[in-house]
C-alpha cells in the first residue's frame, strides 16, 4: 500500500487543475505546468486532488506515489515557487549575471558563460569575507534542480579542501591529507 499515493493533495486558493485525457495542467499565480500521466486516475473534489490506481500490481503502486508527488510539486511550484542556492568555495571563484547569462570564474583559463532557461530567475551575491552565492528561483522544481546540478557539475566540491560549487547547507565528506 502506497502511503504517499493515498494522501490527498490540498489545492490552495488561486490554483486551478485541469485534466484533459492523459495530461494534467496546473495554473497558478507564478505560471503554468503540464504533466503527462498514465496508469492512474486523478479526481478533484472539495479543493483536494486524489490519485488512485486500478490494481495492486508493482508497476501501478510505483506510479501511484510518483504521480502524486509530481502533482504536489507542481501545485507548490505555481503557488509558492522553488529555490536552490549554490555556494562557490575557493580563492578567486566568482559569479555574476547579466539577464539570463550566468558568468562563472572557477579557476579555469576562461570564464564559463551559462545560458539559463527563461523560466528561471537568477540572483548572485558577492560580499567581502563571504563566499559568492547563486540563487535560482522558478515555478518548475525539475528545471531548477536540473540547472543547479548542471552548474554544480562545472566544479564539484573536492574532498580535501572542499573547494568547488556546493549547495548551501550541503555536508561534504572530507578526507584527511597525506600523513607524513
pLDDT in tens, 52-110: 999 999 999 889 999 999 999 999 999 999 999 999 999 999 999 999 999 999 999 99
What is d(CA 122, CA 136) in angstroms, rounded to the nearest whole number?
5
For position 2, what pLDDT does the model report?
56
What is d(CA 98, CA 101) in angstroms, rounded to the nearest whole number?
5
**Who contacts 49 (Cβ-Cβ below 8 Å, separation ≥6)?**
8, 9, 11, 17, 42, 43, 71, 75
Residue 144: burial class (beta carbons within 10 Å; 0-12, 13-18, 19+): buried
Q: Is-same-fold flag (3-79; 82-167)? A: yes
The full set of domain ranges for the chain reads 3-79, 82-167
Q: From 3.90.930.12, 3.40.50.10490, 3.30.565.10, 3.30.70.920, which CATH number describes the 82-167 domain?
A: 3.90.930.12
What is the pTM (predicted TM-score) of this model?
Answer: 0.90
pLDDT digits (tens, 9 = 90+) for 108-129: 999 999 999 999 999 999 999 9
For position 1, what pLDDT does the model report?
47
Share of the chain above pLDDT 70, in %: 98
What is d(CA 88, CA 132) in angstroms, rounded to the nearest whole number?
5
| Average pLDDT of every residue of the chain | 93
Going by pLDDT thresholds of 50, 70 and 90, the confidence category of residue 15 is: very high
Domain covering 3-79 in this structure, CATH number = 3.90.930.12
For position 63, what pLDDT does the model report?
92
Amino acid at each position: 500500500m502506497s502511503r504517499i499515493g493515498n494522501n490527498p493533495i490540498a489545492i490552495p486558493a488561486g490554483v486551478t487543475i485541469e485534466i484533459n485525457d492523459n495530461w494534467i495542467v496546473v495554473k497558478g499565480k507564478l505560471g503554468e505546468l503540464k504533466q503527462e500521466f498514465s496508469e492512474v486516475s486523478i479526481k478533484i473534489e472539495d479543493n483536494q486532488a486524489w490519485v488512485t490506481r486500478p490494481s495492486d500490481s508493482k508497476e501501478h503502486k510505483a506510479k501511484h506515489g510518483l504521480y502524486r508527488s509530481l502533482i504536489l510539486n507542481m501545485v507548490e511550484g505555481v503557488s509558492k515557487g522553488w529555490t536552490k542556492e549554490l555556494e562557490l568555495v575557493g580563492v578567486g571563484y566568482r559569479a555574476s549575471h547579466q539577464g539570463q547569462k550566468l558568468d562563472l570564474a572557477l579557476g579555469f583559463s576562461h570564464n564559463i558563460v551559462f545560458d539559463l532557461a527563461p523560466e528561471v530567475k537568477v540572483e548572485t551575491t558577492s560580499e567581502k569575507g563571504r563566499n559568492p552565492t547563486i540563487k535560482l528561483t522558478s515555478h518548475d522544481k525539475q528545471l531548477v534542480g536540473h540547472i543547479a546540478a548542471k552548474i554544480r557539475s562545472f566544479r564539484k566540491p573536492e574532498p580535501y579542501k572542499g573547494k568547488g560549487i556546493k549547495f548551501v547547507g550541503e555536508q561534504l565528506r572530507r578526507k584527511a591529507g597525506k600523513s607524513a
